[in-house]
Structure 1
Amino acid sequence: MLSLKRFTNPDVARAFANIVWLGLERLTQIAVAIVISGVLARYFGPDVFGKWQYANTLLLVLSPITWVCGAEILVPTIVNRPPQELGTVLGSAFALRIGVSAAALVLTWIGIALGATDPLVGAMLAGLVVTMLFREPFVGVINAWLQSMTYSKPQLLASMTTAAIKALLVFLLARAAFAPAAFGWLWALESAAIGAVLLLYFRRRHGGKLGWHVDRALFRHFATAGTVFWLGLICMYLFLKLDRLMLERTISFADLGRYSAAQQLNENWITLALMLSQTIAPAFVYRVQETAQLRRNLVRLFALTALVMVAGALLLDALAGFIIGRVFGPAYEGAIGIFRWAVWLSVPAGLEAIGNLVVLKYQAKYVLLAKWLLALAVAFAVNLVAIARFGAYGALLGLAAGYLAAACVNLYYIRFKLAS
């Protein structure tokens, strides 16, 4: 009866429905990403696919620059301000994000024009980076408003719908033998469509008016608040893509394409598994105030995560040849061995993610920054030595060392925090 009462509580029911939609959206995105990768890998071939993956790596390294004034700052501001100030809050955040995003876009285009990267990589990246102009300024700001109401369904529906349409367009463009550089603009079109849908939804909910205004004081606050978290996220994403950034200098694009094919499948598996930690975090970590109970919960979460990751890695290791062959085709046979080793990275990645929940619970921003700086430095040092000796497998060693360094920082912080 007690559990039934909890479920019928409007706030709990809304949160549960939101989690369900988040799960559906993540599963859709993972499925679409695998389908698109398979289509492009077969159409491009290993060499061009390696350049495509490298362009996406550069995008994912550049994108965190636009994450100024993150959700950890914007959502609480929306919640704590009176409803009549919503337009000022969103308008100030939008002005900051659009300015930073536009500057990042222009600087990237200038770098491409000056020949900072391979010509085909640059041509692909030119379209991909346009997503920065829409993702954070439009999608990110309105999604923060939706998060403040625990109602992400409009954004998630738009994201799932456009992802499915993008997959269809990728298939049609590949059948029509479009130039590889043209595909990057599909990602720009997708982000623009999501931004437009959410903007129209917001206006409809507010009497047909946007009502966004810029407040200079709030603008300055958004520009400085959360800077440490922002830098930490930049370091984290740079760490996650450092393997491909360093491999590009030492191996061919064809080999990079095979490595990236294996890693993309592995990253989708890790993302799917880590949804577990994101789902259970509020109930088992964030809302727990008693230290003893939090310790018990963490022990159980670490054990459960290790069990899930090891079981998944064993299964994927055994099926590596079948999975690579089905998704990417015979030209990517060299990715099988890499994938079999890469899936075991999910174990330290999962344990790090659980430990990170405590860092986020106590808003330990300097710990977060120090952790990813250390992981980045350790991975860079290991890559310098290991890539020269072991090639692509050396990059996996760098990732493993970085994950272990980050996990050690989490464990040290947990012992310090829970002991005090």
Structure 2
Amino acid sequence: MNASIRSLAATWKTRVNRFVETHPNVKAIVSNVGWLSLDTIVRMLTGLFLGTWVARYLQPGYFGEINYALAIAALVGAPAGLGITDILIRDLVKRPQDAANLLGTAFFSRMAAALVSYAILAVYSLTLPNSLTRQLLLISALTLCTQALTVAGLRFKADLRSKQLVIAGNIGFAVSALVRIFLVLLRRPVVEFAWVAVIETGVAAVMTVIIYAQCYSDLPKWRFEPATASRLLGESWPLILSAVAVTTYMRIDQVMLAQMLGTKQVGLYTAATKLSEITYIVPSILSSVLLPSIVRSKALGPERYMARLQNYYDMSAGLAYLLIVPLSLGSSFIIHFLYGKVYESSSAVLTVQVWALLFVFLGAARDQFLIAEGFLKFSFFSTFLGAVLNIGINLFLIPRYGPLGAASATVIAFAITVVVCPYFYSSTRQMSLQLCRAIFFPFRIWMRLRPKRSLPV
């Protein structure tokens, strides 16, 4: 056993040394990950405490009502991001001298898309019979406009300067946290809680722009270039459709639960999903930080490139399992401790839904390969299939099993989208096999650490 551990440690030491040798900017990457990791931990812990406190105060009925409105806003507003985040980071790494052109075009394009989405939501809200849902929807949808300013933060990600981005985000998060605390203490109505997300994204966006102006001098040069917009949209339209598909199978379950069983069931379901979804930021951070490195690593040769991708997939799966096992086994205690007895039926949902984390983490890693290789259309088609499957499975399972059926549908759809679909496309078949290998990462580690038995003489 000790020899196996020493061998494994030596292997990883060699990999780390190779990584340092081939990455002269490794210190910047480590610093970047450090800042984003610290930010993630702070947000996860604070968000967990405040989120459960708010859920306890609102009770499943009102908690489900506000999340139902947020789900509708997310579905209609999904195209507003235009799917250009990772493409912009890639272009900023390759052509930093064009930052003003790229970011200016992205900002004005996103703002126009946000305004169109909000107008659609405003018209749709007139069809809602519940005036409370209508108010919550119109308020929540304002985040679409504030998020357009966040394109400034992509410059910091491309330059591996996440410290500034973390500062801006945490200021917005701190302000919104204080607002939530006061709303609960003063026992304010549910409508006022809808303003929290608007305040957080608005403050964070404004602070990002202020810090950007201090770090870079090209903010006044931001401009809209039709040619750049056409190129970005021409490349990103599969990602726009993919974002719509992703949002569909991330949020459609809440909408379908509300329409089939009522908003109280949405509250019980969301209480469980919030605990697992709060960790989704981890693979998002890893992917945004490592994308520049992934893009550059193609020049090192196919063997190095594929080996690095396998390491990335293994790391993603390992992190997912570290979260899945305790959350799944301790779901009853966790739900009762955090939410109270009124949410106790959410524990079964958490036990099932938390397994989606494995495919969320692997999916974020998979997307970096698809972007680096330019397989954006495949990203859309696989995600679209997952959304369709999720809707179909929800139609079958929700009437029979309620929130537990919705959780099962999410896990099945994620598994098919992330791992199964790539196998049927020749250019991504190797990636599918690598993802399958990553799923068994804990077993592979156990096999390496297991003491070898000598054959009988």
Match of 2:39 in 1: 25
CA contact (8 A) 1:37 1:328 kept: no
- Is residue 139 of structure 2 the alignment partner of residue 132 of structure 1? no
What whole-Å deviation, never above 9, does each CA across 1:371-402 have from its counterpart, x for those lacking one? 00111111111111111222222112211221
Mapping for residues 341-380 of structure 1, pairs under 5 Å: 341-380=352-391
What whole-Å deviation, never above 9, does each CA across 1:208-234 have from its counterpart, x for those lacking one? 962323333333333433111221122
Equivalent position to 1:386, from 397, 403, 406: 397
Closer, same or farther in 2 for the Cα pair 1:307/1:117, shift >3 Å?
farther
- CA distance, structure 2, for counterparts of residue 359 and residue 8 of structure 1: 22
Match of 2:244 in 1: 234
Between 1:333-342 and 1:313-322, the stretch displaced more is: 313-322
- Is residue 344 of structure 2 the alignment partner of residue 330 of structure 1? no
What whole-Å deviation, never above 9, does each CA across 1:56-99 have from its counterpart, x for those lacking one? 2223323421112612333344455573x543333222221111
RMSD between superposed Cα atoms in Å:
3.2
Closer, same or farther in 2 for the Cα pair 1:134/1:312, shift >3 Å?
closer
Match of 2:58 in 1: 44
CA contact (8 A) 1:258 1:334 kept: yes
- CA distance, structure 2, for counterparts of residue 275 and residue 81 of structure 1: 22
User: What SS does the aligned partner of 1:177 have?
Assistant: coil
Match of 1:401 in 2: 412
CA contact (8 A) 1:32 1:164 kept: no
Mapping for residues 1-400 of structure 1, pairs under 5 Å: 3=17, 6=20, 11-68=25-82, 70-81=84-95, 83=97, 85-112=98-125, 114-116=126-128, 118-136=130-148, 138-140=149-151, 142-206=152-216, 210-272=220-282, 287=297, 289-294=300-305, 296=307, 305-306=316-317, 308-400=319-411
Query: Where do 5+ consecutive residues of structure 1 fail to align?
Result: none
- TM-score of the pair, normalised by structure 1: 0.87
User: What SS does the aligned partner of 1:72 have?
Assistant: helix
Match of 2:455 in 1: none
What amino acid does structure 2 have at the position aligned with 1:373?
A: F
What whole-Å deviation, never above 9, does each CA across 1:351-377 have from its counterpart, x for those lacking one? 444444432331201110110011111
- CA distance, structure 2, for counterparts of residue 283 and residue 184 of structure 1: 38
Instruction: After TM superposition, give the deviation of residue 175 of structure 1 in Å.
Output: 0.9
Query: Where do 5+ consecutive residues of structure 2 fail to align?
Result: 1-13, 434-457
What amino acid does structure 2 have at the position aligned with 1:370?
A: F
Match of 2:8 in 1: none
- CA distance, structure 2, for counterparts of residue 26 and residue 18 of structure 1: 12
Closer, same or farther in 2 for the Cα pair 1:49/1:287, shift >3 Å?
same
Identity over aligned residues, as a percent? 19
User: What SS does the aligned partner of 1:210 have?
Assistant: helix
What amino acid does structure 2 have at the position aligned with 1:378?
A: L
User: What SS does the aligned partner of 1:214 have?
Assistant: coil
What amino acid does structure 2 have at the position aligned with 1:153?
A: K
- CA distance, structure 1, for counterparts of residue 365 and residue 215 of structure 2: 37
What whole-Å deviation, never above 9, does each CA across 1:202-255 have from its counterpart, x for those lacking one? 333456962323333333333433111221122112112222121111112222
- TM-score of the pair, normalised by structure 2: 0.80
What amino acid does structure 1 have at the position aligned with 2:372?
A: K
Closer, same or farther in 2 for the Cα pair 1:299/1:76, shift >3 Å?
closer
Between 1:47-56 and 1:319-328, the stretch displaced more is: 319-328
What amino acid does structure 2 have at the position aligned with 1:145?
A: R
What amino acid does structure 1 have at the position aligned with 2:195?
A: W
What amino acid does structure 2 have at the position aligned with 1:187?
A: A
